Amino acid sequence: MIRGTAGSARLIVFLLVAGGLSVVLVAYTILHQPPKFPADADHLTASAPDRCLECHGPSGKRPRGRNHPQNNQCLSCHERV
């Protein structure tokens, strides 16, 4: 580090923090696996979002949680077992 330059020290700290955050985000993106369908009779027949929403819609027996995205494209994230 260059002596007497506070600006370069701040730049180095900023670059280290930004680089660390980038590594964490890339690792999460690579390692995050979407939830898989359970291997039961109900889920083996689900082939379209309409079938999913019969149970997981707002009035279904197991509605989606508050943190679940509200799009209706279940098969774009969830995978078959």
Please state the rounded mean pLDDT for residues 44-70.
86
Whether 53 and 72 have beta carbons less than 8 Å apart is answered as yes
Please state the rounded mean pLDDT for residues 32-49.
81
Print the domain residue range for 60.
34-81
Specify whether 79 is located in the same domain as 68. Answer: yes
Specify whether 26 is located in the same domain as 42. Answer: no
Specify whether 74 is located in the same domain as 60. Answer: yes
Specify whether 28 is located in the same domain as 60. Answer: no
Specify whether 10 is located in the same domain as 45. Answer: no
Residue that is written with structure tokens 């330059």 in the block = 5
Specify whether 39 is located in the same domain as 17. Answer: no
DSSP-assigned letter for residue 3? T
Which 3 state secondary structure label does DSSP give 79?
strand
What is the number of domains present in the chain? 2
Look up the pTM and report it.
Answer: 0.54
Is the model more confident about 80 or about 29?
Answer: 29
Specify whether 41 is located in the same domain as 77. Answer: yes
Is the model more confident about 50 or about 13?
Answer: 13
Which 3 state secondary structure label does DSSP give 81?
coil
Q: Which two tokens stand for residue 64?
A: 């989606």
